[in-house]
Structure 1
Amino acid sequence: MPAVDIAPPNTNYPPKPTIPSIRHEVPAVVFLLGPASYHAPVVREDLSGKTVIVVGANTGLGYESAKHFATMGASRVIMACRSKERGAAAVERLREETSTESAKLSIVDLTDMASMKSFAAELETRCERIDLLVLNAGALPKPKPEITKDGWETIIQVNVLGSSLLSLLLLPRLLETARKYHTMPRIVIVGSGVHYWAGALDKKTSNSPEILRALSDLTDGFVPPRRYQESKLLNLLFTRALNERLRPTHATIIVNRVDPGLAATELRRNANLPWTTRLLWDNMAVSAEVGSRELVWAALAGKEHAESMRGAWVARCTVREPSDYVLSEEGRIAQDRIWHEIVATGINFEPKIKDTVERHLLNL
């Protein structure tokens, strides 16, 4: 934090206000206004022969990023969607708009772990290689919280467990792709600058035996905006934990997290947002296509500086510093706890994750 002049006692009263940390203030502005004032060009690369998977691809950021990848010549752009009907319509639309046949449909429901398991098994059979995995699917909390059939609060399962477990389920194929084709596959997890607003986990949650279980316990009330912020914070902690555990021999894999900014998508369709938030969204949001450029940048840019992209938080098409909490000792402890909780959850529903962790990741 920048130094602040402190007035002598009993003079210049009231005291001068503390200058806010730029690390706190800039991300908030970036989230709301940054992309609106900064329309980055689309990073382009020849994706001939490559397979791209976009989860949450039937609309919004996912659809637009899938469209960009298709126009770059990807052999396969697998559009993973929850609804078969909406997904099929999106695939047909993308084929028409790009004049390519690369778009393929796959079904996955992040509120159902059995669906995630089936999705990963299908891709193992269907895809000889995976070059880019873009995990875009997410949700805003509804006014009344819900519990999934797997026993988790919905936002925790979709925004935290969903992207994390799919990363672990598909990691072996990404590593095999890197080894076999001498490429550098990437996992891009779509997050949000609101992780700054989450601050630290509250003491009750931090002191609980299991953070994720504590957040799925709804007996103490439920605050939708806070839950969304927490989910994006935990999402970032997992990304950093996974990156740190990739063995040096697997340095050809890059995992990062990207903030697309405030974009006009269907994310809010089931959320009961305050009128002030809706006003901001209606008047400041960029188009889904503009927001998708951030996803494409995180997936393709920075090859000449690959190390800076590992475990990075990306916003406005550059690598940025995450929140003070994420970088703190308290955040480090939470990061390790979240990692072990997610891995344990994954092993419970798909034992193969244990083999993936033991064979391919460091035991930190």
Structure 2
Amino acid sequence: MNMTRRKPACAGVLIAPLGALVWAVLGAAQAFPAQGAFTAAPPRIMIVAGPLEIHRTVAEQIAAELRRRPVTPELAHLPPPDHREELDALVRSIAQDPPAVILTVGDQATEWACVRVRGVPIVFTLVANALDESYVRVESRTEGVAAGGIAADLAPRTLLEEVRACLPSLRRAALLHSSSSLRTAESIREAGKALDIDVVLVPAEQKRFLDALTQLENTAPDAVLMIPDPQVYDGAAIRSLLTWGARRSTPIWGFSANVVKAGAYAGAFFDDRRIAAQTADLVLRMLDPNAGPLSPLDYAACVRRAVNLHTSGIVGKRVTDAFLSGDVLKYGDEP
């Protein structure tokens, strides 16, 4: 008699699925760990603000904007150039605990970061005449340049369209520049060709500003365009140019609200109230692996207009209703 016990017919059928079920459960437990076990901390964004008040104001606005996004902003102020120990300490802190991105506000902070920091992507904002800065990325360089950023300038065509909206008869404009703003000036001249505006470039510098005014006389422009170049303009140079324009009934296009308030005919420039949101969006694009590389340079997307109605009367050029519509800073209309 065969005393060997036979397995129940169903045993093989049950054991295999049971084993598979056990491993499936164990595998699921490994595939789906306890909630939060692999939750990464929000990316840290170090904001380094330059020394000017506008840099620090915008940096604080950007930090506030980023706090509403899935990142953790940290705000630092760039120490003065002669405070070497503080500058070295800032570099060491970045090296010891690198953030995901360094966001620099202003040209001084951006130049410092591109020279001193390695291994962390750098994004900049609020840099004037950005085309002329060496840290704007070009294909032949990989070190010492920013991943991308936002200029404090309007796009060249946008700038000229704003001038044309204010002065529809504009055909010839002069633009004072130095070697530090030559590429920016050339880009504006090139944009003028498509708009039938002849932009004449006039080299200038503070120490020989009267020579530049003499050349303006020979140029006979319909208007003079100012760009924020510290090698060309200080307080005395700005006053000289505004006086020149008033005496010759030539509109001077200012690069900031303060210049328009001081007596320039009108101006259009970046809106400091809205550039924070544009910058925050750029940082998030930098962090998005599906977004692709950043453009080397974006321009300020939001435009703020200003006009000096008193100067408009002096030069005999009425500001158009189209330019005055919307959110416009108006000066010179006090009773």
TM-score higher than 0.5:
no
Higher alpha-carbon Rg: 2
Q: With CA pairs under 8 Å and 6+ residues apart, which has the higher RCO, 1 or 2? A: 1
